[in-house]
Structure 1
């Protein structure tokens, strides 16, 4: 392959090159095209660089013959992680080859059709082309033969066709004419796949797809693999110490570089050879190779050499109009053939642009030349020249502000184009004073990112936070960058000289009485209290006492963990403390890791109570509850294997086969997750398993488990657990051979009783026609609707966290942490730093819990303070207000039908309510309105957490997730008030307090999708596709209509004073059929989304 070395001892070696392949493919294709083939199929792509050579050759053949032959391309997956042999994910592969206009993109060979299914589904959701598939007839047996019959393969392929995933179907290894005949029969009746629209964003890739979306805010391009900018890197390349040079790349990726700039431009180096060697070496390191590369050179031959080594979609840095239009376009066409994006320098025949006018002139000219020649605007990145300021030369004073103004102009006038730059140039006049340089870069980037700068070449390990810069220095540098004062440059030079030796850091010392205890008791104390400060020293001392690191884990550390489990089970320890304990234990094991490696041979296996497999089911991305359960189980001395979120049934089943766990735990928050849990139960029954399954999450219930889950798994038992505190007790009973059978039998008997009770009470449901007659009565003749101040759709692209803090309902925050909502009164205290009076307002037996509530509230406020300081842009919203009416159990919003469900049990007032009752009916001679909204508080949140190095800190990770959930609720409350008072204005005079809002004293309602009044999660597809286009604020939907990021909410806004919240409750088959026909759903899909209501 062109991407990998066949020699283990020489990762830079290649047995075949890009040009070897290109020439061979060109010869073959020329003969085939002249021979009259209808289609060229580049198939079984196991190395994307090989495929790119074939695509390059196809383009050359088209130019040579004048014949444009359609191209199909098909990759092969070689492992269950969904990667090609050369390591690329399907997304990475698509990004690498998307520069060609294909007849189809597909998969072939790989596994059999059954195991190919999830990857084909992923491909069909990403690729804006027709989809092909030709799988093997299963996997070969020991003799290399294929046993899968035509009938069995046809059953598996039918799933592809039923789901509308493909346009072209066929067979690969092991298939025969009989296999193909079966597929022909299936294809006659199948519905063809409808390709998705082209991506709205730039796609780049290394081994993995990197989408340059607005929510990324800013992209760090690592600068240290540049011989012109790093003396150390130059020395290592000169001395042929490539492995050490690769360590520099590693460090940049660890420090947060999202793209890696590679430059070999030095007069004493062979740039072509060094670029080739180093990129081949990078390809051997998956951690570095996973991110896109920026091939940086002023020598076109070096750029081409780099492009011939990279299977991913890279960026070329750079081309310009310096040599004129023809050379510029020739280079751009070649870059497009290689499948790369391009940086265009603001440079033309007259020289480098150094004013605002010249920057605009060159960028405008270059953009239209490229776009008119067929270059994708999303793949154009401008570098309008960041030049040195504070040099003392008058003309240089406007360099920075002109660059900033150029960004603004590009974003307004050159659709799709990106902006980049080499930030280190800015501070060139202060070389030797690294602190001043880094502060200048931080301030400059702060303003550049506000203007819309997409990426910059920086050293990610040296970033200084804007808010942490001393005010005096920050103001000075802003004066220089923004050219605000004539004397600013001289003042900055003076400041730099005076503070040349500035150091950053602080030392904290802590002393406590428990430090005088024995080492084993100190370690137990550290775990129980979650204090990691002294672990390093205490564990080193413990090694001298115990000798074997495993004994330290088995004795003082596990004793501490067992104590934690005991205290939590007794209610004497609270969830925030348990999470801190788990974090401390993780740190302790990491410190012991080197000693554990040394004594691996004598290492004793930990005596775990139970082995558990835990997962959030497919289509569901919520994991905070699952994470809490995982931590609690770990603290009770259990081995927990966490499969994460969005876990397909087949993955769970395969893991059960591989790991043989004692218990499986399934989590889900949304209604469709109930159906997925059902699928898992049925699959476990089919496989003959009998191990217990625990289910939990907001939508689960004991009744649903008894009615819908347990009957599908008669071999075993499905047990509903209400919350994390119940799980250890259930596990303990199941793992105790003396009580397990009697416990399981008691649960099964309870489920039988619940099913019988359910049958007895189900007669209370009214017929749909009778329920409609009992609709909520409103006199529309006496009601005057209010015309909204802002009709139509509107985006709020950045809602500051400070705006919504006062709307946080702390009761629900404490509830997440299994603490009483009574503790929310801490948020009303004037002096939070001295909570003594507040603590004494609780009974003596509650003060320990109150103290813990105070501690977690304090940590939450510190985290919120940090978010405010960092000016994060997590919160975004889109809302729309449209003319609407109700008719035949549906709302018609801006002409779009949105079916609603009606209660079929009478409420307290005797009515069967639907949301349709609160909107003026068709023919009422009233123009009514309905609002819709989607809001998220999670865009960029994961990246911020990683940047703070908190993603592996269980406590702060859970704290962060629980705060995001509260922030999105607070933001929704804030938005609803804004709509009532300003955007719509139907309650313009409202003067409610925050407590009034929490008590629902406002006019109108905002029913959320997936909740009691609108239980159908798939309504989100209508909101996203037809009313809001919420993907534009960074919200994505899973196949089950769940919003990602998790901290997101959507719903409708109704204004009538008599509108109120209600729960639809149980519905019958008649309403289900009526509803699904309006929604154009099949019965299975409707049941999946409305499982809780059936």
Structure 2
């Protein structure tokens, strides 16, 4: 067996690379641009309708083909001409040419014609040993010279490999020839092991599929880096005409082939079904054949196939079955399955049968949603399904709303009177009298009525139209909004008389029976608290129809300064599905707005969400404010940064009412129900007791922990061997803006957190086949891929970032000072001698200076020659020097760019006054650019070279500090203070940067990337269409792209920009597992929880101006789909958690940051030990 080594990935390319790693999904090869497989394509090529033929190629790429197979083998075609012309046309179509090409022909001349013009790295399909070893080697060498990969057919001089042993024999021989004799890259070898039909009735064909699987497994285990391909449709050839069976056979074959190592293949997506969706009886019959599990497998499948023949899409039959149920069964089915195709039709049928339209919501829709809630609560339904159910529910309610609104207005009685715009329900017998009395009342309003009319007239209140002294039946209402059937009464003292209170109650009861909502205010309330009056009126106007309030009303808000709302939105949807009315205030909601809205809408529960740690303090503050105002509304706490511990220890003690932490959407439903049911007082008491006990235990545990003082912790810092450490100098120093095409980022996406967003827990890709959540994970993943395709095709999102690497040193133990990168002169940087170093040469004089420098190098003085003998070849401190080097408009004798030290060796001419003045001016200019200049005379060098060398060495070891004007930024880090086990250090991020007194200039980087612009607008479009599912999906994918961008950029920095890991060859899985060298921690995360470091990054990189990402007052990034952080390149750097810190470090930190201790405490509060 061949010795295993680090996996080499197959890399193909059109305009974009296709990197096939062990973690890659199956690569689908489009086959419709093949004249032997598509009659339409053949006709178009024969008629030379190449533009139409291109559309077929484009459709394949848009349909998900990652490689397109092009074949021009037809007797009546000039194959070489057709192949060349078509490939040239493809090259001009970036939508097609972005994917790699497979040049497919049985004729070598056609293949080579294609190889000569194809762009990128293609695949040849195919070569084999059929014509002997010599021809095979000749073709392989040519393919290698053209830089292509190759399909190798399992075929030799004696014929095709038609069993396991022959496959092994031919593949081993072919591989050995290619690798050992041709030097062909093994990762560019793709074996086609021949897929033959099964269930043909011939005994020798029974093992065709099984032998393919075994051969595939053998190749992957014994021929390092090689890949497997094949044409899958061949396996079902015996069942032509029965698509149901063929689709199942293709899916089963692929499932087992991929498990055994098949990498790619020609598959028609329309002839596939999802493996898990295959009916169990059909799956059993097909697998019996494919895996040769029974002697009578073929006969059984043939018999079974007769029963499903013609049932091309069993979905139609399934639809017919559920559509034959009752209207309630149909509505429930639509809600449970998330199907909205028939919901309006069924809701209309239910409306026709109901007494009132509202009953369709209260009875039919809520019956269905109760089933959804029960299934979700019992774990038989998952979050993505619930969100889809909510989408159906919203569409149903939207359809019913116009009918509900119309039903709220009572019908005009006989004698009803109409004006030009509105009709009034006045009693005809009394109408004349009532009309006159109403007119008199309008002309003689009370002061309170006059004041309120000033606020309500002219649609001043949220554009609602009001009328005053309006006749309804036998009554005159003070004010009415006919659209919402809301009546406002303003009562004087007379209404406090017992007889008037009775008549007012009777009047209100009658108006309520006619569908009106009546709210009453005293004259004093209107005159002295107008804001409260208007708030109550607005609340009445926006209240749901009578009877539609449901289980309760819940206010949801992401707290002040925080922009993240995916989790909040998901919880809102799930609660709404369980008959709760949701008042969603959105993101960045200040506490006063939350409190005002809670009062205005008379909510039963307040739900608070937050992702970043400053949001925790906002929640604590809000709890205090709620308590201060004597409010009695329970609070649910949720979000990524929240926890039961923080809720119990920090938030709950601030509020006398119930505060409870809710960690997922399903628990939110249970908690909300418990907070509002008849036993809510018992539940609230139990929660308080539980949190009190938890808090006491937590605080006792914290008190028992031992901590060091900050000075002791610094003495126990991480000790690195700086004497023997040489920092890797970045290839590019300074900041750079970067824009990346989204499809480049797709391979870097970590899908596991995506599933966590939907509360589906498991590691990707294993989650797709998980026994519990696999079906839902597969479904939501398919939806994600569909939206991903739209994002890429329509460029819905953009990836923009900025990053920079800067010289740096650790100072004062815990801080990191960043220095100005050497400035590029006007006109830009010019490269000299080495690609990795740029010089500040004046562009206008550069050619002249370069020639002059060359002359000086060729004619050195004796002193220069002697000194160069020592300086060259890194003779001092292993540092590199250059001679006669151009900086600006000057040529310096010698320079060490790493230490920015210039050495000048002066002859007698430098003693003249004029020359001294020039030298002084030149030195000032060089020092202003961050260089230190030392001068020696020819005599000093020639007479005492040893002292000269020692002097230079001393300057090199002291010339480490950049002048103050060169300081770009200062990062403050925090140090672990908990008592460690013996020998374990108390770490701070600053420990990974060389101290200033080490004599080394180190480097550190920072970055910010975003894929969030346009997300909110696109999500809003879905929300407008009542589609929460896709609204959440958009945001979830944008977040994944942002993280992928951060991963991609970090790799680029490691390998190219900084270059300290240039030979790195990690898979996506390796990167997600953080097996790379160096780290990229982010402010707000365990190693550096201080969000106040973000403004330093923003100032350092000019983030807002360059890429538009802003910071809120709580230091959340907007757009939300953004990532920022640091780059550390030290091989000893690692991720760690700061843990709890003590007050002495908080005070020290406040001094270093020049802020008050109270301010420092606010920002570091979650990490301060109690």
TM-score between the two structures when normalised by the length of structure 2 = 0.48
**CA distance 1:512–1:1079, shift in 2 (3 Å):** farther
**CA distance 1:1044–1:951, shift in 2 (3 Å):** farther
Distance in 2, matches of 1:801 and 1:711, equals 47
Secondary structure of the residue aligned to 1:664 is strand
Q: 2:776 aligns with which of 852, 871, 894?
A: 852
Secondary structure of the residue aligned to 2:1059 is coil
- The answer to whether the aligner puts 1:812 opposite 2:753 as a matched pair is yes
Please list, as runs of the form range in 1=range in 2, the aligned pairs for 1:437-836 lying within 5 A after superposition: 511-601=319-409, 604-606=546-548, 608-713=550-655, 715-762=656-703, 763-796=705-738, 798-825=739-766
Task: Give the Å deviation of 1:755.
Answer: 3.1
The aligned counterpart of 2:1006 is 932
Task: Give the Å deviation of 1:474.
Answer: 15
- The answer to whether the aligner puts 1:862 opposite 2:786 as a matched pair is yes
Contact 2:658 2:684 (C-alpha < 8 Å) held by counterparts: no
Secondary structure of the residue aligned to 1:656 is helix
**CA distance 1:476–1:633, shift in 2 (3 Å):** closer
- The answer to whether the aligner puts 1:891 opposite 2:812 as a matched pair is no
Task: Give the Å deviation of 1:646.
Answer: 0.6
Please list, as runs of the form range in 1=range in 2, the aligned pairs for 1:904-923 lying within 5 A after superposition: 904-906=977-979, 910-923=984-997
The aligned counterpart of 2:504 is none
Between 596-605 and 778-787, report the one with greater CA deviation.
596-605
The aligned counterpart of 2:898 is none
Distance in 1, matches of 2:665 and 2:679, equals 24
Task: Give the Å deviation of 1:741.
Answer: 2.5
Contact 2:612 2:1084 (C-alpha < 8 Å) held by counterparts: yes
The aligned counterpart of 2:1150 is 1076
Distance in 2, matches of 1:743 and 1:871, equals 50
Q: Is there any run of 5+ residues in structure 1 with no aligned partner, and where?
A: 1-470, 479-507, 827-837
**CA distance 1:559–1:719, shift in 2 (3 Å):** same
Task: Give the Å deviation of 1:979.
Answer: 0.2
Contact 1:776 1:913 (C-alpha < 8 Å) held by counterparts: yes
Secondary structure of the residue aligned to 2:666 is helix
Distance in 2, matches of 1:1075 and 1:890, equals 10
Give per-residue Cα distances to partners, 1:396-452, cap 9 Å, x unaligned. xxxxxxxxxxxxxxxxxxxxxxxxxxxxxxxxxxxxxxxxxxxxxxxxxxxxxxxxx
Task: Give the Å deviation of 1:748.
Answer: 3.4
The aligned counterpart of 2:976 is 903
Distance in 1, matches of 2:1042 and 2:593, equals 32
Between 593-602 and 783-792, report the one with greater CA deviation.
593-602
Distance in 2, matches of 1:476 and 1:720, equals 55
Contact 1:613 1:663 (C-alpha < 8 Å) held by counterparts: yes
Distance in 2, matches of 1:795 and 1:757, equals 46
Distance in 2, matches of 1:862 and 1:1000, equals 29
Secondary structure of the residue aligned to 1:719 is strand
Task: Give the Å deviation of 1:1062.
Answer: 0.6
- The answer to whether the aligner puts 1:879 opposite 2:803 as a matched pair is yes
Distance in 1, matches of 2:564 and 2:985, equals 35
The aligned counterpart of 1:430 is none
Give per-residue Cα distances to partners, 1:759-797, cap 9 Å, x unaligned. 34334222111211221121111111111111101001x
**CA distance 1:684–1:947, shift in 2 (3 Å):** closer
Task: Give the Å deviation of 1:547.
Answer: 4.2
Distance in 2, matches of 1:964 and 1:1068, equals 38
Give per-residue Cα distances to partners, 1:37-94, cap 9 Å, x unaligned. xxxxxxxxxxxxxxxxxxxxxxxxxxxxxxxxxxxxxxxxxxxxxxxxxxxxxxxxxx
- The answer to whether the aligner puts 1:965 opposite 2:1039 as a matched pair is yes
Distance in 2, matches of 1:529 and 1:1007, equals 42
Which one scores higher on RCO, CA 8 angstroms, separation ≥ 6? 2
**CA distance 1:761–1:913, shift in 2 (3 Å):** same
Distance in 1, matches of 2:669 and 2:722, equals 56
Distance in 2, matches of 1:922 and 1:474, equals 54
Distance in 2, matches of 1:907 and 1:1055, equals 26
Task: Give the Å deviation of 1:1029.
Answer: 2.6
Greater C-alpha Rg: 2
Distance in 1, matches of 2:756 and 2:1020, equals 26
Task: Give the Å deviation of 1:641.
Answer: 0.8
Secondary structure of the residue aligned to 2:1079 is coil
Give per-residue Cα distances to partners, 1:243-283, cap 9 Å, x unaligned. xxxxxxxxxxxxxxxxxxxxxxxxxxxxxxxxxxxxxxxxx
Secondary structure of the residue aligned to 2:669 is helix
Task: Give the Å deviation of 1:877.
Answer: 0.6
TM-score between the two structures when normalised by the length of structure 1 = 0.51
Contact 1:878 1:1030 (C-alpha < 8 Å) held by counterparts: no
Distance in 2, matches of 1:708 and 1:948, equals 38
Please list, as runs of the form range in 1=range in 2, the aligned pairs for 1:308-319 lying within 5 A after superposition: none
Task: Give the Å deviation of 1:704.
Answer: 1.5
Contact 1:939 1:1034 (C-alpha < 8 Å) held by counterparts: no
Distance in 1, matches of 2:1141 and 2:553, equals 40
Q: How many residues align?
A: 577
Contact 2:658 2:687 (C-alpha < 8 Å) held by counterparts: no
**CA distance 1:704–1:517, shift in 2 (3 Å):** same
**CA distance 1:653–1:730, shift in 2 (3 Å):** same
Secondary structure of the residue aligned to 1:548 is coil
Distance in 2, matches of 1:472 and 1:658, equals 65
Between 704-713 and 554-563, report the one with greater CA deviation.
704-713
Distance in 2, matches of 1:658 and 1:854, equals 43
Q: Is there any run of 5+ residues in structure 2 with no aligned partner, and where?
A: 1-87, 96-312, 410-514, 516-544, 820-966
Distance in 1, matches of 2:1025 and 2:811, equals 49
Task: Give the Å deviation of 1:1002.
Answer: 0.3
Secondary structure of the residue aligned to 2:805 is strand
Q: 1:1041 aligns with which of 1115, 1140, 1155?
A: 1115
Contact 1:1003 1:1056 (C-alpha < 8 Å) held by counterparts: yes
Contact 2:994 2:1002 (C-alpha < 8 Å) held by counterparts: yes
**CA distance 1:950–1:596, shift in 2 (3 Å):** closer
